[in-house]
Structure 1
Amino acid sequence: MDIFKNRNFMAMFLGRIITNIGDSLYMVAAVWLVYDLSGSTFYTGLAGFLSIIPRVIQFLSGPLIDKLPIKSILVYTQLIQALLLLIIPTAAYFNVLNVTLVLIITPILSTLNMFVYPAQIAALPKIVNEDQLTKGNSLFSIAYQGIDIVCNSVAGTLIVLIGATSLYTLDSMTFLIGAIIFSFIKLPKAKKEVQQTKKSISVSIKNYGADLREGVKIIGHSALSRLLFGIIVVNLVIGAIFAVLPAFSDRNGGPEMYGLLLMAGAIGGLIGAFSVTPLKLEKIPLGKLYAGAFLLAGLAWALSIFTPWLWLTIAVYGFAWIPGGATNVIIFTVIQKGVPKQLIGRVTSISIALSGIAAPLGGLLGGSLGVFTSSSVIIFFAGLAVVIVGVYWILDSTTRNLPSTEVIDESLFGFDEDKRIPQSPSITL
């Protein structure tokens, strides 16, 4: 592929792979370690809450990503995470490891990650041509899902063989390697950008509020806000499912089952990412695509608990993640095509923050309910809630009439030729 001849893209792509290895192993190790130390779904729900809560404030990273050097953001966040991860195995060595320490480190690591992925999305239009954006996003998503497949498939076995704390040491090494790879990225800069870099921090602080309000206004004025409402509910559901998944797995095979379920979800997401181009999903109207996709996802989640065989449970659960893998590729392409390059960072971070705002609450809710009822019941009603979201998108005319990704331009977000937000955007709510 021509895109792989781009050295900047290769560095970004390889760095993403290494970073995702660390993220995947860490998340499996963290959630299982919390469950192993506490034996309670409440604490796994709390761990999920703390790992996702930084998304609520992720919109705050947008203006900084648009102002600060992206390369520095990527390198230094990896180095800091490498150091923080070593705290867990060190505490275990001195026999002072407890649930509280794991819960304290979890949101710090997640906060650092809230800069990494929006920064990568913001950098992509700067290093590839516009006609390569969908391919680049698809490759990023495939890398993300592919690494999840590999890591989740072996994580359960690694926990049994070497223990969850040892995975933290391995994670630390991967983040260090990621920092080294990201250091080879050379983003193009105009003379004006070079001059502004020296004053970027002071300028960012001074204009922070205005930049933030502008990003929120962009999202609020677009017809995508209806989609966003439904995605908030979907993320609430996902948070609840992940909170009870360790308990569900523990009753159906232990850490190996947990790893297999996570692997199945990653395979589903990878299939979805691969399907975007072959199925020409860019040609399908955005609202109809989302409605149909998440109707299927909700049904699969709800039905997964009724299967008579564990292998079929794993397969149906994995199928539920196929729609999300496809729509993740699509939505980032929509933002990159519909928003001027200098604003992509804040719009991406705000959209991720708003879409993920319910996930921490979902984790707390699912974990708390798991104390009183079975994990299977929670997973069933979670899937049912996603079905209702799909029906809502079908019935809502604004969502149903959204254009396809193929024809989306900056008018969807309310920009005129001067790249300003008009008083009356071309598509409003």
Structure 2
Amino acid sequence: MKLLADKNFLSLFMGRLTTNAGDSIYYITTTWLAAEITNDPFYVGLTSAVILIPKGLQFLWGPLVDRWNIKPVLIMTQLIQAVLILLIPILYYMNLLTIYNLLPIVFLAAIIAELGYPVQLKALPAMLPKNKLLQGNSLLAIANQTADIVMNALSGILLAILGIVTLYLVDSIMFTLAALLFSLIKLKKAPLEAVKVEKLNLKNYGLEMKIGLKVVFNSMIWVFLIANVVINFCLGVMYAILPIYANSLGGEEKYGYILTAISIGTVLGSLISTKLNKVPIGLFISSSFIVAFILWGIAPFMSFYFFLLLFTLCWIPIGSANIILGSVMQSVLPLTIIGRTNSVMSSFGAIAMPIGSLIGGLLVRYFESNLVLSIAAIGFLVVGLTWLFNKKLRNLPNSETISYKDFNIPKEFIEL
């Protein structure tokens, strides 16, 4: 926790905490609003997909993120989100809000959010030495999940007491507060000042995106990409189903409990990850995802409170694995190409998420929600078995000794 004594990191940490609290309110409120307006599970899945689609466009932001100054972008993304979210209660009060004008607003807000997240990740290695990245990532993940825990736990109560429209007003305030916190960050020098920044025209933009693609597909990182695609597809199915599943159990209060279970499991996993520097990555990742599959797969067929217990437990190894893999990527890639490479990785994985949401919304029309939710866990089994039976992946060393050579990343990219 010594990192929190650093004023710059503390500002980033608190800003991340605040903006993720706003995101939690936004996602929960929007999915319930879609259900309230349409009373159709397909439109709930469509709304979830629209929010998730911008994640699949992250590869477009990579060349921009590598060139942008951190602080101005952090501030502006929050302020623009605040304005967009404020449009929803205004339209509601004017009796003009429909699913057809709600979807474009949430789509634009999601795009802006996706611009902000890679900049936050870029700020971290610019602030911290390599041996502090795992701890820094863990703390940011804790900020993320702590906000989720608090807001998810309160979501049912807040929806019942304040109502959907008031929650959107609160959400807009949260993004404004996040902008103020990010404005406190003081960077003495540009983290990439040694890199010559050329004017980014359309040709250069395409060339820089190709670099990110080449790094991924000319190394073992492509295996991470396949895992992202499989898991994000299954998560897309899950997020589309959860409102319907929770509604069958009693309503928005149950929805809040389920999201809280996910958040608690993830934050526990994030805390545990700080103690796993010496653990071989390969065996840990394979065993983590297989255990998650078992717990998740049987949970929907249990009583509600036993479901919550199993669902919480299954997200502990998922949370740990996510932090470790993120830290590994930051360790093996130089700062000059990390934005482009991470954007490609995130984008390919995220493309599968809205597709999963759409398919999940359609499946719930024909099958019981608990069956579809259980089937969604198969992605974790696929990834776990892939890492277990692939010798190269299974034998990956711990996060402290791993290097670009373990992923067969060509030296030409390391020296960019």
Residue ranges of structure 2 left out of the alignment (5+ in a row): none
Post-superposition offset of 1:238: 0.7
Post-superposition offset of 1:196: 6.4
Bigger drift between 249-258 and 403-412 goes to 403-412
The answer on 1:384 being equivalent to 2:389 is: no
List aligned pairs for 1:226-237, cutoff 5 A: 226-237=223-234
Distance 1:17 1:239, change over 3 A: same
| RMSD, aligned α-carbons | 2.0
Query: 2:210 — aligned with what?
Result: 213
Query: 2:26 — aligned with what?
Result: 26
Instruction: For 1:172 and 1:70, locate their aligned partners in 2 and report how far apart those are by CA, in whole Å.
Output: 22
Query: 1:289 — aligned with what?
Result: 284
Contact 2:20 2:144 in 1 (8 A): yes
Amino acid at match of 1:367: G
Query: 2:101 — aligned with what?
Result: 101
Distance 1:87 1:415, change over 3 A: same
1:23-71 CA-to-partner distances (Å, cap 9, x unmatched) read: 0110110111111211221111111111111111111111101101111
Distance 1:419 1:191, change over 3 A: closer
Amino acid at match of 1:347: T
Query: 2:262 — aligned with what?
Result: 265
Report SS of the residue matched to 2:400.
helix
Query: 2:245 — aligned with what?
Result: 248
Query: 1:365 — aligned with what?
Result: 359
Q: Residue 311 of structure 1: which of 305, 313, 316 is its match?
A: 305
Contact 1:22 1:172 in 2 (8 A): yes
Give % identity: 35
Distance 1:310 1:208, change over 3 A: same
Post-superposition offset of 1:327: 1.6
TM-score (norm 1): 0.92
Residue ranges of structure 1 left out of the alignment (5+ in a row): 422-429
1:333-390 CA-to-partner distances (Å, cap 9, x unmatched) read: 1111101112222222222112222111100010011111111110111123422332
TM-score (norm 2): 0.95
Query: 1:124 — aligned with what?
Result: 124
Runs of 4+ in 1 over 4 A off after TM superposition: 194-197
Distance 1:194 1:172, change over 3 A: farther
Distance 1:170 1:336, change over 3 A: same
List aligned pairs for 1:392-411, cutoff 5 A: 392-411=386-405
1:79-105 CA-to-partner distances (Å, cap 9, x unmatched) read: 100000011101111112222222121
Distance 1:87 1:194, change over 3 A: farther
Query: 1:48 — aligned with what?
Result: 48
Instruction: For 2:90 and 2:278, locate their aligned partners in 1 and report how far apart those are by CA, in whole Å.
Output: 52
Contact 1:50 1:106 in 2 (8 A): yes
The answer on 1:353 being equivalent to 2:347 is: yes
Contact 2:192 2:336 in 1 (8 A): no
Bigger drift between 88-97 and 258-267 goes to 88-97
The answer on 1:342 being equivalent to 2:339 is: no
List aligned pairs for 1:63-102, cutoff 5 A: 63-102=63-102
Amino acid at match of 2:49: F
Post-superposition offset of 1:393: 2.4
Query: 2:274 — aligned with what?
Result: 277
1:363-422 CA-to-partner distances (Å, cap 9, x unmatched) read: 00100111111111101111234223322321222322333222112323625388337x
